[in-house]
Amino acid sequence: MAPLTSSAITLNVNGEKYTLPVDHRTTLLDALRERLDLTGTKKGCDQGQCGACTVLVDGRRALSCLQLAVATEGREVTTIEGVADGDTLHPVQQAFLDLDGFQCGYCTPGQICSAIAVIEEHAAGWPSAATADVRPEAGTSPLTPEEIRERMSGNLCRCGAYVSIVQAVARAAQADADGTTETTETEEAAA
C-alpha cells in the first residue's frame, strides 16, 4: 500500500481554526494564501532568503515558505491580518505608518511580523550578533540601531526603506516598554 501523501489538518490562524485537506508537501505560505485567502503574507523568493513571508508561529518568527503546513498543526499562527486588535493597529503597524517604514509595501507584512518578534526577543534578553556583552550579568543591552539592523537582517526591502524601518522598530519598542509614542534617541540615531 502506498503511503498517504495528503491529509486533513487543522490550522489555528489568527485565533480561528481552519480544517482543510492538504498535500503533505504544501508550505504554510501556500496554505495561507491559496487555501485560506490570507494574502497579506507575501511570496517573495520562495527560498527563505527575503523574509517577505514571515509570520509568527507560537510567537516566534517563521519563514512560511520553508514551513510545511502539516508541521504547524496544533500551533498558533499569526499573520499580518491578525496582529491588530480590531480597528486598533498594533504599535509596530502604527509606527510603520507614522514613520514611512515602507515604500511599495510588498515586504511590509513580513517586516512587521519580524519586528514584533524582534521587540519580544530583545525584551526577553535574547542577544544578537550585534550584542556587545552577552554575559547574563550584563543585563539587556539597549535596542540600538545596530541591534535592530542585525535582528531585522533576514527581511529585505528592495525599495530601501531601511532607515525608516529601523526608526519604526525603535519607536514601537519604546512604546512597548513605556507606553509612549515620542521620538526616541534610537530613532534619531537611525536617521
Write the pLDDT tens digit of every residue in 146-173: 999 999 999 999 999 999 999 999 999 9
Please determine, for residue 8, whether its predicted confidence score (pLDDT) is greater than 50. yes
- The pLDDT value recorded for residue 72 is 98
Give the cell for residue 124.
526577553
Looking at every residue in the chain, the average pLDDT score rounds to 92
* CB neighbourhood size of 109 (10 A): 23
Please determine, for residue 56, whether its predicted confidence score (pLDDT) is greater than 90. yes
What φ, ψ does residue 69 adopt, rounded to 5°?
A: -60, -40
N residues, the chain: 191
Sequence-separated (6 or more) residues with CB below 8 Å from residue 90: 83, 84, 112, 116
What is the reported pTM? 0.90
CA dist 5 and 25 (Å) reads 8
Give Cα 185 to chain centroid, integer Å: 24
Helix (H, G, I), strand (E, B) or coil at 50: coil
Sign of the C-alpha dihedral, residues 140, 141, 142, 148? Answer: negative
Beta strands in 96-155 (DSSP E): none
Q: Find where cell 504599535 sits.
A: 91
| Long-range Cβ pairs for the range 109-112 (8 Å, 24+) | 109/40, 109/41, 109/42, 109/52, 109/54, 109/79, 109/80, 110/41, 110/42, 110/44, 110/50, 110/51, 110/52, 110/53, 110/54, 110/155, 111/51, 111/54, 111/152, 111/155, 111/157, 111/165, 112/80, 112/83
Helix (H, G, I), strand (E, B) or coil at 124: coil
For residue 4, the cross-strand partners are: none
pLDDT single digits (tens) 72-111: 999 999 999 999 999 999 999 999 999 999 999 999 999 9
For residue 17, the cross-strand partners are: 12
